[in-house]
Structure 1
């Protein structure tokens, strides 16, 4: 009769990215400086904190950093896990959890507002035209898409990814 030996859990060493990097490097890697990362973390800390009795749980700062790094670089989750000392599965769970928290209507409404009336829309259009000299547009952004199978090179932007340019 074979005896099953229980394998001990192995934990990777986690890095303290806020201490390790200065602001210019944080911006390069996470698209935010320390103040921005701390602000976002404090905004949602109560929603991201794991129960205290969990074994080697990930704190709110690390969850925000993992998500920001994933969004800023588009790196594979396995690579992000290696960077932070967590598994690919953990990166996946953290990104989903953090994005769910950040997309909560109470959070979004603090920073994003859409014009509700036609008059408000027209006022925004006039302000944008005065600012940028571009008529009839409130704002525009590039939305990442999968590379098309035909004329793929025609859809690469200056940041070297495939977007659709959308305007509102």
Structure 2
């Protein structure tokens, strides 16, 4: 009886209107807000569509396009999640969950393997060496390496290990580029 009374008194869920930015904005505006045009947003969405899609429309489930748009907005502007919620419609909690889900999907091994490939055959290696000779007269180079500390939110476990020499939390990241500025290797595993 008490459970039925509780259900009766429960507030009905309200859903804010969600913007359809792919149809409302032109490519110039999309690039300004999301760093990609319509075609680019759809390309990224198609990479992770199966992972992000929900088999139901219950509770107004977000489309994979909207999840990618929310994530791109956060990455492009660095705006707080509450601002993204205000701009696009979903709640702050949903924005937070969507960003994590989308970034996990985009950083999966199968997706990364499509774009980040270190040359392993003798032909690929020779071609990379020739590209460096052509642009800089620099012989015997397959790729150039650099490192960067990428700022992160303090982790709950092993927090002190992620504080760098400049006293902020970061992940030490190593990136190797080829002569065409394409990433051919990346390691972002270490505090």
Please state which band the TM-score falls in when normalised by the shorter chain.
0.7 to 0.9
Which residue of 2 is the match for residue 138 of structure 1? Answer: 143
Q: In structure 2, do the counterparts of structure 1 residues 166 and 44 end up closer, same or farther at CA, with 3 Å as the change threshold?
A: closer
How many residues are matched? 158
Normalising to structure 1: TM-score of the pair? Answer: 0.74
Q: Is the 8 A contact 2:45 2:64 kept in 1?
A: yes
Q: 1:105 to 1:66 in 2, by over 3 A?
A: same
1:140 and 1:17 map into 2 onto residues whose CA distance is: 38
Q: What is the CA distance between 1:129 and its match in structure 2?
A: 4.7
Gaps of 5+ in 2: 153-163, 167-171, 177-191
Displacement of 1:114 in angstroms is 1.5
Q: Deviations over 1:91-111 (max 9, x none)?
A: 111111111111222221112
- Structure that is richer in strand per residue: 2
1:89-147 CA distances to partner (integer Å, 9 max, x unpaired)? 1111111111111122222111221133798557525413523567857356766437x
**How big is the shift at 1:40?**
1.6
User: 3-state SS of the aligned residue for 2:60?
Assistant: coil
Deviation of residue 64 (structure 1)? 0.7
| Rounded Cα–Cα distance in structure 1 between residues aligned with 2:50 and 2:36 | 21
Report if aligned partners of 1:66, 1:95 keep a CA contact under 8 Å in 2. Answer: yes
Aligned ranges 1:16-165 → 2 under 5 Å: 16-116=20-120, 123-131=127-135, 138-139=143-144, 144-145=150-151
Deviations, residues 60-100 of structure 1 (Å, cap 9, x unaligned): 10001011111111111111111110111111111111111
Alpha-carbon offset, residue 166 of structure 1 = 6.1
The residue number in structure 2 matching 1:154 is: none
List alignment gaps of at least 5 residues for structure 1: 151-163
Aligned residues: CA RMSD: 3.3
